[in-house]
Amino acid sequence: MRNGLRFGWELGGSGWARCRIADGTSEHEDIVSYCTDALADLLHGVAGLYGPAGVQRFSFDLEPAEARWVLRGDGSEVGITIYRFADMSASFDAPDQEGSPVWSSTQPRVLLSHVVLEAAQSVLRLHGEDGYLAEWVQHPFPVAAVQDLRRLHLRHDGCEREHDMALP
C-alpha cells in the first residue's frame, strides 16, 4: 500500500532504539542495538537510492538476531523488504533468501526519504547531539548523514512537505 507510511526511531535506554515502520496495511518493529551505527546506516542506505546502485542493504543488530533491510529502487518507487536472521554473527554475509521476510512494502522514494529524515531530526530535537551520544553510547549522532539525505531528497524529489531546515 502506498499511503500512510510512518517511520519512527526512539532511543530507549543505554544502547537501544525502537525502530518502527508501517504502511496502511501492516507494521514492523525491532529493538535495535548500538553494536552497529544503525541510524547512520539507515540514513546512508536511503541516501544511496539517489545513486546508480539499484539496491541498498543495511543490517541492524538485534543481539543476537539480524534485521536486514533491502531497498530496491525502481525509478521513483522503492521496494522495501526486511529479512530476519536468527544470529547476526552467522548470517551477516548470507544471501537475503536465507532470512525470513518479515515486512515488505512499495513506497515512493520521496515519502520514504521524508519520513526517515523526519524521524532522525526528531531524535536530534529531543536529545541533542550530546544526549544522543549519552544514550546511544557507541556512535555520535549522524549529522553528516542527515545533511546528505536532506540535500539529495530536496534536490531530486521536489518534496512539497515541510522540512526542518534549522537542524543540521
pLDDT (average), residues 106-110: 96
Pairing of strands 16-22, 100-108: unpaired
Q: Is residue 101's pLDDT more than 90?
A: yes
Mean model confidence pLDDT for the chain: 94
Residues 6+ apart with CB under 8 A from 158: 110
Q: Is residue 2's pLDDT more than 70?
A: no
Percent pLDDT > 70 in the chain is 97
pLDDT (average), residues 120-139: 95
At 23, is the pLDDT very low, low, confident or very high (cuts 50, 70, 90)? very high
User: What's the farthest any 2 CA atoms get from each other in the chain?
Assistant: 43
pLDDT (average), residues 90-105: 95
At 1, is the pLDDT very low, low, confident or very high (cuts 50, 70, 90)? very low
Between residues 75 and 96, which one has the greater pLDDT? 96
Q: 59 with 69: CB under 8 angstroms?
A: yes
Q: How many helices (DSSP H) and strands (DSSP E) are in the chain? A: 4, 7
Q: What digits encode the pLDDT tens for the residues 39-86? A: 999 999 999 999 999 999 999 999 999 999 999 999 899 999 999 999
* pLDDT of amino acid 52: 94
